Structure formats: structure tokens, C-alpha cells
Amino acid sequence: MKVLSEPARVRGFRFAGVSAGLKTVAGAKDLGLIAAQNPIAAAGLFTTNRVKAAPVVVASERVGRGKLQAVVVNSGSANCFTGKPGLRLALDSCAAVAAELGCDGTHVAPCSTGVIGHLYDFEKYRDGVRRAVGALNEDGLEEFARAIMTTDTRPKAASVRLRLGGREITVAGAAKGSGMLSPRVATMLAFIVTDVAVTPAQLRTALKEASASSFNAITVDGDMSTNDTVLAMASGAAENRALDGRERAIFVEAMGAVASSLARQLVYDGEGATKLVAIRVRGARSRADAERIARRIGNSPLVKTAFFGCDPNVGRIIAAAGASGVALDPARLELRVGGVKIASRGMLLVGALEAAQQRMREREFAVDLNLKLGSGEAALLTSDLSLDYVKINAEYTT
């Protein structure tokens, strides 16, 4: 399945990205809009943080009913930790979109990303909505992707075209994120749209499966946003016949391919990231064990600084694995970095370190840890912890 790292037209959707003056940088795009012709199948995944931003509260309740006509996203303010005024603001924002589009306000989902604790200016927002509705067009997905950026250095989009249910269908998406959270970044947001005709339940299943190995298998700093949202919408404009089992599997695969491309772009553009590292853990007693180890390695500041320093640091990697709480036998471990075996049977292979170090100089490499205890496997994409990560996150003042 060929995935392009670029936007595409998706029948049944129009997009816009405009500047509403919500970001401090004058003229920066900060209001994005996705609109369908009618209420259509929608599904969503939301942050499990106990502190949820107002738009997350509103969007999750609306998406739960399975239908949406529009999604409105602002950057510059997360509208989180803003109490009842924040909730009111999120509702008013949707109402403003509904008034301009002439649709039911409960079919509009809001998303916000930016500084936590501050409300945005509703007058500016409403003016922005007016301009966004005026700017809606079928080729606007890239403009939308730009409008939702915060510390991101580039817009993130992906698309797949394939034949399904007797028709050519398209799945396309856009995302933002950089750290997984910060008052400047404050979120991973992703939006996937398709013209395929599926029920809300089918869309929900597809989104969940697609996210497991993409959005839920990446980390930049291990921190969890108050605003994380992944939304999917299916317009049905492809007018395909009802999908059979095999076709549904292909649809899930297409959603997964777009989600994986977006997830990869998120880590690649992680705050200060100079490396994209695939952590793969095999031979664990269970998938859950493998995942715990992969996350512990992928979030360890010491492992991540070693990545930044191109240091094939066996000690830090196995110590992180051992700290995960998962049963393992150091005497069996096998570790490869950049394809080079640097530890085997509980011992460091000193002679191999130089070759591994060479591989780590590349932008992308893999860390493969085999526990040799069972058949549990897991994978995680992570970035390094660089001087720029600290600069980006220390030099900003609330």
C-alpha cells in the first residue's frame, strides 16, 4: 500500500487554514476547519489525562454519538485549565462555526492546542471562523495542517488511494505535535478523513486498530497532553458498496498506513529531535511485557541522551529494560543497534561498538532487544533528547 507524505483531495470534504490572530506571531495561521456537506460517520480517541481541556470534553461527548459535520481547530491556546469559562468558550466556538456553515452546533467538534491556562479572544476567533468558512476548498488540507502547528517546524500530512468496494477511495490526514505536550505544543492532534462509506461503528474499529501501532506507539518525551485528540470522519462520497470482511481489513490497513505516516512525521519533527529511533522488543513472555520494556527504553533520558551522542550505550539500554519491572534474564539478552549485535548472552561485545556507533550517526536507526523468553513483541518510535529539546522547553516563558 503506497502512502504519500502529502495531502490529497477527499471527496465530500473541504478544508481551510487561516490566521485569526490567536498566536502571538502576526499573520501566523492559527485556525483550521474541516467541513462535510452533512453530518457523517465520525470516530475519535482522546487523551486519558485526568486533566482534560474543555474542547476534549466537548468533542469526546459529540463524537461519541457517531456523527459530525465539521471540526474546528485552533492553535495558540489549549483552552485547558480554564474552568467553566473555558467550557463556555468551546461551546460558543462550535456555535460560531455552525452559524456560518448553517449546520447543527452539536455536529461541530472543537480542538485546541497551545498555552494552558489561558482563554483565547472570542471576537478574533469568530472573525477567523467567518474567513475560514469563506476559504473552504477541496485542496485546503495543507493549509489546515499549517494552521494547527505550534512548535512543529513543518506541516504533516499523508494520503493513500486505493480501490475498495468497487470504487477508488481516498484516506488522507493531517497532524500536529512535537513534544507530546507543552504549553507551547500542548497536544498531539490528528485528523483522518476518507470518502469511503462506512458506519460509525466500522470507522471506530478502524481508527482504534490503526492507532494502536501508530499514534499509540510513539513518544517524544513521555509526557501526556491534556488535549490529545485523534478524529476520523468518513463522508461516504465514494458511494462504494458495503465493505465485506476482506475489504474492511484493507480499509483498516489504509487507515493504519496514513496514521503510521503521520505518527512517524510527528516523531521526526519532535522538539529538538536529531534522531528517529525504532525500538523493537522481541522474545518477551507477552506483548504487554515487550511494550513495557520498549516504553521504558524509549522514554529513558539517559538512553535518549546516548542516542543524541551516537553512543551505543548497552548499559543504559539494558538497565532501562531491567527497570521496567518485567521479568527478564540478563544472561539471555541479545541487543542490536543499527543492525549491529553489541550484546549477547549477558555480555557486552566490545569489538562491535565502533560499528554500531557509525550506524547511530545516521538520522534513523533501530534498537532491537531480544529477551529470548517467549514470543511477545512490541515496537515504539522515539526521538533523542538533544540540547535543542532543553533549549526549546526552557527558554519559553509562560
Residue 395 near a second copy by CB under 8 A: yes
* Cβ atoms of residues 157 and 7 within 8 Å: yes
Q: Which of 321, 367, 373, 381 binds a second copy (CB under 8 A)?
A: 321
* Contacts (Cβ under 8 Å, ≥6 apart) of 35: 13, 14, 15, 69, 70, 101, 133, 136
* Cβ atoms of residues 312 and 348 within 8 Å: no
| Min separation Cβ 298 and a second copy, Å | 13
Cβ closest to a second copy, residue 233 vs residue 306: 306
How far apart CA 301 and CA 320 sit, in angstroms, is: 10
**Which 64-83 residues touch a second copy, going by CB under 8 A?**
78, 80-83
Residue 186 near a second copy by CB under 8 A: yes
The answer to whether 47 is a known catalytic residue is no
Q: Which of 138, 223, 362, 364 binds a second copy (CB under 8 A)?
A: 223
| Min separation Cβ 373 and a second copy, Å | 12
**Which 37-56 residues touch a second copy, going by CB under 8 A?**
49-52
From 151, 170, 187, 382, the catalytic residue: 187
Q: Which of 154, 346, 358, 364 binds a second copy (CB under 8 A)?
A: 346
Cβ closest to a second copy, residue 199 vs residue 274: 274
Task: Read off the amino acid at residue 264.
Answer: R
Q: Which of 196, 306, 378, 381 binds a second copy (CB under 8 A)?
A: 306
Q: Which stretch binds a second copy (CB under 8 A): 198-206, 260-268, 275-283, 388-396?
A: 388-396
Cβ closest to a second copy, residue 242 vs residue 390: 390
Quote the cell numbers at residue 128.
477567523
* Cβ atoms of residues 86 and 118 within 8 Å: no
Q: Which residues of 24-48 are buried (b: 16+ CB within 10 A; e: fewer)?
A: eeeebbbbbbbbbeebbbbbbbbbe
Site map for a second copy, 105-124, x if CB under 8 A?
A: ----------xxxx------
Q: Which of 319, 355, 366, 379 binds a second copy (CB under 8 A)?
A: 319
Cβ closest to a second copy, residue 83 vs residue 339: 83
Q: Which of 213, 222, 359, 374 binds a second copy (CB under 8 A)?
A: 222
Q: Which of 134, 91, 119 is nearest to 22 (CA)?
A: 119
* Cβ atoms of residues 271 and 178 within 8 Å: yes
Q: Which of 327, 358, 363, 364 binds a second copy (CB under 8 A)?
A: 327
| Min separation Cβ 247 and a second copy, Å | 38
Helices in 102-244 by DSSP H: which ranges? 122-135, 141-147, 200-212
* Cβ atoms of residues 69 and 107 within 8 Å: yes
Element (H, E) at 78: none
Residue 345 near a second copy by CB under 8 A: yes
Element (H, E) at 280: strand 276-284
Task: Read off the amino acid at residue 332.
Answer: R
Tell me how crowded residue 245 is: count the other CB atoms within 10 A of its CB: 7
Chain contacts with a second copy (rule: CB under 8 A):
49-52, 78, 80-83, 115-118, 179, 181-183, 186, 221-226, 300-302, 305-306, 308-309, 311-316, 318-328, 330-331, 343, 345-348, 350, 353, 357, 385-387, 389-391, 393-398
Catalytic amino acids? 187
